[in-house]
Amino acid sequence: MYLKKVVFILISFFMFINVSAMDVDTYSKNAVLYNLNDDSVVAEEAKDEIVSIASMTKIMTTLVALENIDDINEKVTLTSEVFKGLKEANASVAGFKVGEKVTYEDLLYGAFLPSGADATNALAINITGSIDKFVDLMNQKAKELNLANTHFSNTTGLDEEDHYSTVNDVAIILKTALKNETFKEIFLTDKYLTSDKLLTFTSTLKKSLSAYKISANYILGGKTGYTLDAGRCLASMAYDEVNDIYYLLVTANAPTTTGYYHLLDAKNIYEYYFDNYKYFDLIKEGQNITTIKTKYAKEKNLNVVSNQNIKKYLKNDFDISKLEIKYDGVDTVNFNEKVGSKLGTISLVYEGNTLDSFDTFLNNKLHFSILAFTKDNILIITVLIIILLFILKPKKKLKHKRV
């Protein structure tokens, strides 16, 4: 008996992940948690609500600056324009001085780690000539990323009526920024010594965690934020070493009555999902999913076989014995079916809910079998042969007698 394998092609892998409200009570009114392994939202609270985002703005500022700097080691001189209005606005600063010569690298770290408004203004003025022109680039980048709910009015994150975003848009900006290797290096850095050795910058996130004695070494990096409108904010990335999963969390609007509610949210959310979620192998490579019959082919059956392990991010109480693998499609494939033709759809169903689904296609040509054709049509063939023999049978000539 001939048996042919047809490997299914995955069309919608890692889709249908159930996005739910946070399983953890949060102080923050807005939150979104991404599983970066498959770039999926796993939990959220009002993630698309338009809010103030405070110094999380500097994620976009730093990204746009990096995309418009040719040489981060180039030195620039800081003019008085850089510092204009910062003291009056009570903006956080990195500690640079008027007339100081610093590198673009110094400014990038000064903008991100201590959240220096002096550094963001210096980047804007030296890259584009003015803060307004640089802000235009930030809004162009937001448009490029299809962030319809985001608009910038400054480089710092200070509250302005026309300066807003959502925690989900901030997450998208951060995910984009992390693809830039220099940004990623800055994001993951705890301390930085300026090129002139005069200033040492410390990450506001690491400084805050240490100040409040919150242990969260799994948080790899982050950008804090705080204004009266935005509340306490945090955009961070963490690594679950046990389950080998990277997470990205953005929160906003935590109470301002104390300085650690956004930190507690990050710690509680990360640790809950570390402890309660992981990947399960739902289908193993080489596993036979279903068998399809063939018609008039040398290959008697087609086995639909997985060519990879299919894993899914699920809660720890998932019981794989309750997983149903359902096939919906043709039950017979003709010998002349074209390679690439869709055969059907396979669904992974758990307690009535579809976890995932994907299509299967014919990926090998079937070969015609005269034996199989004859066997399935023996009666018709026999009748045709009899008819053909009758037609072709020689007729006897009649002899006429002479009178």
For residue 60, give the nearest of 256, 235, 190 by alpha carbon.
235
How many residues in the chain? 403
- Predicted pLDDT of residue 10: 43
Tokens 């945090």 -> residue: 234
pLDDT digits (tens, 9 = 90+) for 313-357: 999 999 999 999 999 999 888 888 888 888 889 899 999 999 888
State the Cα–Cα distance between residues 30 and 50, nearest whole angstrom: 10
For residue 115, give the nearest of 201, 206, 209 by alpha carbon.
201
Q: How many CB atoms lie within 10 A of CB 151?
A: 17
Task: Identify any residues that bridge with 277 across adjacent strands, giving them in sequence order.
Answer: 315
- Predicted pLDDT of residue 376: 65
DSSP H/E element including 202: strand 200-202
> Mean per-residue pLDDT for 277-305?
86
Q: At 2, which amino acid appears?
A: Y
State the Cα–Cα distance between residues 138 and 154, nearest whole angstrom: 9
Kindly list the distances between the CA atom of residue 133 and the CA atoms of 76, 123, 130, 137, in Å, as whole numbers in the listed order: 18, 11, 5, 7
State the Cα–Cα distance between residues 7 and 340, nearest whole angstrom: 11
Minimum mean pLDDT among 10-14, 144-148, 359-363: which range? 10-14
pLDDT digits (tens, 9 = 90+) for 35-67: 999 999 999 999 999 999 999 999 999 999 999
> Mean per-residue pLDDT for 185-212?
96
State the Cα–Cα distance between residues 390 and 383, nearest whole angstrom: 11
Please give the angle made by the CA atoms of 323, 324 and 330, to the nearest 5 degrees.
Answer: 155
Q: If you compute the radius of gyration of the chain from its CA atoms, what whole number of angstroms results?
A: 33
Q: At 306, which amino acid appears?
A: S
Going by pLDDT thresholds of 50, 70 and 90, the confidence category of residue 11 is: very low
| Token output for 151 | 């608009």
Helix, strand, coil percentages (3-state) for the chain, rounded to 5, are 30, 30, 40
State the Cα–Cα distance between residues 42 and 50, nearest whole angstrom: 20
| Contact assessment for residue 102 and residue 75, using Cβ atoms and an 8 Å cutoff | yes
In terms of pLDDT, which residue wins out, 279 or 379? Answer: 279
Going by pLDDT thresholds of 50, 70 and 90, the confidence category of residue 19 is: low
- Predicted pLDDT of residue 22: 85
| Token output for 252 | 């906003």
State the Cα–Cα distance between residues 382 and 174, nearest whole angstrom: 74
Average predicted confidence (pLDDT) for the chain? 89
Q: Say whether pLDDT at 401 is over 60.
A: no
State the Cα–Cα distance between residues 267 and 12, nearest whole angstrom: 32
- Predicted pLDDT of residue 305: 81
State the Cα–Cα distance between residues 252 and 235, nearest whole angstrom: 9
Kindly list the distances between the CA atom of residue 218 and the CA atoms of 176, 227, 248, 291, in Å, as whole numbers in the listed order: 21, 26, 12, 46
- Predicted pLDDT of residue 403: 46
